[in-house]
Amino acid sequence: MRIFLDSANIDQIRQAAKLGVISGVTTNPSLVSKEGKVDYQTVIKEICSIVDGSVSAEVVVTEAKAIIEQARELASWAPNVTIKIPVTTDGLQAISVLAKDGISVNMTLCFSLNQAILGALAGASYVSVFVGRLDDVGHDGMAVVKDTVDVFKGYGLKTQIIAASIRHPLHCVAAAKAGAHIATVPYAVLMQMLQHPLTDVGITRFLADWKKVSS
Q: Which residue's CB is nearer to ligand G3P, number 44 or number 203? A: 44
CB of 43 to ligand G3P, least distance (A): 15
Residue number of the CB atom closest to ligand G3P: 165
**Contacting residues toward ligand G3P, per CB under 6 A:** 6, 26, 28, 130, 132-133, 164-165, 184
Q: Which residue's CB is nearer to ligand G3P, number 54 or number 184? A: 184
Note if 84 is an active site residue.
Answer: yes
Q: Which residue's CB is nearer to ligand G3P, number 97 or number 183? A: 183
CB of 133 to ligand G3P, least distance (A): 5
Buried b (16+ CB within 10 A) or exposed e, 162-178: bbbbbbebebbebbeeb
CB of 97 to ligand G3P, least distance (A): 23
Q: List Cα–Cα distances, 22 to 95, 113, 125, 207, in angstroms.
A: 26, 26, 18, 30
Q: Which residue's CB is nearer to ligand G3P, number 130 or number 152? A: 130
CA dihedral 154, 114, 92, 101 (to 10 degrees): -10
SS3 category, 164: strand
CB of 143 to ligand G3P, least distance (A): 17
If we measure between CA atoms, which residue out of 54, 82, 61, 77 comes closest to residue 182? Answer: 54
Return all residues near 199 (Cβ < 8 A) that are at least 6 apart: none
Q: Which of 18, 65, 84, 211 is catalytic?
A: 84
Q: Residue 9: what residue type?
A: N
For 85, the enclosing helix (H) or strand (E) is: strand 81-86
- For the annotated catalytic residues, the residue numbers are 84
